[in-house]
Amino acid sequence: MVNPSSHLPFSLLLPLSTMVNPVNVIPRGATIQLLPVGSKNLNIVLNFNTAEQYSDNPGHFGETIGRVANRIKNALINDLDGRSWQLAKNNGENSLHGGVIGWGQKIWTGPTKVDYKEGTAYRYDLTSPNLDENFPGEVKASVIYRIKDEGLKRRIEVEYEAELVSGAEETCVNMTNHSYFNLNGDETIAGTVATLGTNLHLPMDATGIPIDESAAPYPKIFTNKPFTLTATEPNIDDCFVFPNSFAAPDKIPIDTRPLPLRTLGSFYHPDTKIHLKIESTEPAFQFYTGQWNMLDARPDGTPKRIPRSGFCVEPSRFVDAVNRPAWKNMVLLKKGEKYGSKNVYTVWEEQ
């Protein structure tokens, strides 16, 4: 992992706090590149050492994902704005993370400083044109990063907003952040203690699409009970849902920001004593232990990545919701409405 204090041109990075070792974001994908924690300033997100390398980012390291995060079955939206929409098949037969060139590979405008009395805040903006990756409608999207440092704890609030402005009467949106976390600075996440806020998940087929509109407890994982990630297991890449959200999916609003924060997961590594807590207003999250994460070393000095070099927690709506009648409203953005969500990452080193 790159040393946060190493020299990097300001034009490539956005220092999102006044700390000596700030959080850094780059314009491509409004992507989190550096999130240093603790007395050793360990960068706990997988990254590339220079912004240029993010133009080839197959693992979506740190990206803002859109227009629709996760998978859409058969890369086909069955019924939206009065017709079906064929998308690019970039994950087997499915569409993944917004298509071949999703929002994570777009150059966002910014940073624009935002008033925030408790710390430092900046906004990035993106205009996604009508038929961008064949999604209907022109959408204006934004992401705001608010950074607050309190003693040993650092709080990063990420707020998403999107609005359909022209080209269609309705579209679909599901945004998230795709950071991979590694709390120990080693080749793998072995030894990380994980606790999930729910063990209810959507059973998937072999391609990562829900088999139906049911949910079930995840095998051998229990709500709010810690378990340890090793160098090889458990291998997880599943969508976890909260029971009350699953019981009434039609009540999940397109803008979840007014809803209370819920803890998606808490993570800790005993070697570094670094903690990570992830909260969100979202009804679900994809938890991925990185078993397919492989990357050769890069010319900029970025090291080789091997399977399970980082884990992801992607706050979101339900997978393939746009094609499920009972779930569709949570991703259906109509003209005159706003999509919104909020995620909070709290990190600290135990003393």
Does an H or E element contain 294, and which? none
Closest CA relative to residue 183, chosen from 286, 294, 272, 278: 272
Among the listed residues 178, 201, 269, 275, the single catalytic one is: 178
Q: Distances in Å between the alpha carbon of 130 and those of 127, 134, 207?
A: 9, 8, 28
DSSP for residue 28: B
Nearby residues of 49 by Cβ (< 8 Å), 6 or more positions away:
2, 6, 8, 298, 300, 301, 302
Backbone φ, ψ for residue 333 (5° rounding)? -105, 120
Only one residue has tokens 């999703």, namely: 102
Looking only at the bridges linking them, the beta strands covering 338-349 and 153-166 are antiparallel
In sequence order, what are the beta bridge partners of 238?
287
CA–CA dist 130, 168 (Å, integer): 8
DSSP 42-90: EE-B---SSGGGGGS-TT-TTPEE-SB-SEEGGGEEEEETTEEEE----
Closest CA relative to residue 238, chosen from 263, 255, 215: 215
Note if 178 is an active site residue. yes
DSSP H stretches of helix in 126-278: 243-247
CA–CA dist 219, 201 (Å, integer): 10
Nearby residues of 283 by Cβ (< 8 Å), 6 or more positions away:
241, 242, 245, 246, 249, 252, 256, 317, 318, 330
Nearby residues of 207 by Cβ (< 8 Å), 6 or more positions away:
71, 91, 92, 93, 94
Longest dimension (CA), the chain: 57
CB 149 within 8 A of CB 346: no
Residues classed as catalytic = 178
